[in-house]
Amino acid sequence: MDLYPNSAGDVDLLHLPDCPDQLAEIFKYAQLGGCVSGITHEVNNYLGAIMAYSELVSLEPNLSAESTRMLGEIARAARRSASLMGMLMGIARADDPSRSVVNPQDLVAKAIELRGYDIKISQIAVERRVAGTAGNMVIDEPKMVRALLYLLVNAIEQAKATRHLEIVFAIEGTPDSVAFSVRNAGLPIAPEHRESVFDPLYTTKGSTHMGLGLTQAREIARLHAGDLTYDPDRGFVLTVARKAPTA
């Protein structure tokens, strides 16, 4: 059963009692996720010390221009690392029903930054497009970043598998809603499988892939009075209300 026409391999339609490898993978990531809070707290303490001491040393008189430059690079790297730790903590924390005002482009930027290393080493080109009505949204930001991250990871994996190393990440706004679409330059999904991809544990990538990303992304979209669908011309399209309903 081929999901992408002319792609190699078969779809693994897995059922919970019959997928010990997949369950083991889910358990492993659950345990790692439970460590995130403590580890990021410790790392942020170290980063704070690096920033503080580099800034103190930079105040010393008679530093060479090259030493000043290097200290500045150290401080900038520490600040960027702290920012990444903050984003990771944000999406990993326990569910919080609160809503915040965010810019759609900032959500896309955070998702891309969290997968920046993978994108870079895989030499994937990510094109960002914005169309329609601009403006902020009132949403559950960590959940929405997670949903966009799931779509981006799916596109990255498909890009690497097919060697079509281009992804289009688009935002289309209306006064009432915002649509985020993520499309890989490869072949579209076969029509008979376009709804099945949203089923839990449905994957084309083997038993160690959990097949839950698109399911979770659709659930998050529906919590925001929207939905996740597939369009062969636009890819996966996550549409949400500009102002999400409260729980």
On average, the pLDDT of the chain sits at: 82
Q: How confident is the model at residue 130 (pLDDT cuts 50, 70, 90)?
A: very high
**Among 84-98, 155-169, 201-215, which range has the highest average pLDDT?**
155-169
Q: Which residues contact 104 (CB under 8 A, 6 or more apart)?
A: 136, 137, 171, 173, 178, 180
Question: 211 is written with which tokens?
Answer: 């097949």
Residue 153 in tokens: 């990871």
DSSP codes joined into one string, 62-125? T--HHHHHHHHHHHHHHHHHHHHHHHHHHHHSPP----EEE-HHHHHHHHHHHTHHHHHHTT-E
pLDDT higher at 191 or 245 = 191
Burial class (CB in 10 A: 0-12, 13-18, 19+), 1: exposed
Per the model's pLDDT, the better-predicted residue between 60 and 2 turns out to be: 60
pLDDT recorded at residue 40: 76
Superfamily of domain 12-19+97-241: Histidine kinase-like ATPase, C-terminal domain (3.30.565.10)
User: Count of CB atoms within 10 A of residue 74's CB?
Assistant: 17
What the block records as the tokens of 127 is: 């094109």
Average the pLDDT over 121-135 and give the result: 91
Q: What are phi and psi of 196, to 5 degrees?
A: -65, -30
